[in-house]
Amino acid sequence: MLATRKRSLLGREIDVFLNNEKLKQVRVMKYLGIQIDNHLRFDKHVNNVIEKCGKIVCIARSAKISWGLRESALDTIYKGIILPILAYGVPAWIDALQRRSNQIKLKNIQRLINIKILKSNNYSKN
């Protein structure tokens, strides 16, 4: 992968050989769990993180107003699973948070689980 922010170099093919075989050039690669694209925007990584967290939030859908998971269980899910997924490797992809679309996606997934926690909190006080 040729990773650069210069537009003149982005469409360029480079020839790299290993054991006399040409390596395939890719646009996105995964390194230590972080998806890096050739524009260094990390949009694909943010989408992947949102997808992972969305699956976990679906599990928490069992928290209804009158029944379901309690506040402590949902809080444990949020702090123990969702926050580590969202925060993994942030120093590498923090520039992606400058984009408004990525901010909205990350805020929405946090909003969903926090609404579930608040609903369960209201139930446990009754």
pLDDT in tens, 104-123: 999 998 888 888 777 755 54
Question: In terms of C-beta density within 10 A (0-12 exposed, 13-18 middle, 19 or more buried), how is residue 46 classed?
Answer: buried
Q: Report whether pLDDT(62) > 60.
A: yes
Assess contact for 56 and 82: CB atoms under 8 A: yes
Give the pair of three-digit tokens for residue 50. Answer: 């949102």
Within-domain flag for 85: yes
Assess contact for 57 and 112: CB atoms under 8 A: yes
Within-domain flag for 24: no
At 7-60, the pLDDT tens digits run 666 667 778 888 999 888 888 889 898 998 888 888 899 999 999 998 888 776
Within-domain flag for 8: no
Within-domain flag for 75: yes
| pTM (2 d.p.) | 0.71
Within-domain flag for 115: yes
Within-domain flag for 1: no
Range of the domain at 116: 42-125
Residues in the chain: 126
Within-domain flag for 105: yes
Within-domain flag for 113: yes
Number of domains in the chain: 1
Q: Which residue did the predictor score with more confidence, 23 or 70?
A: 23
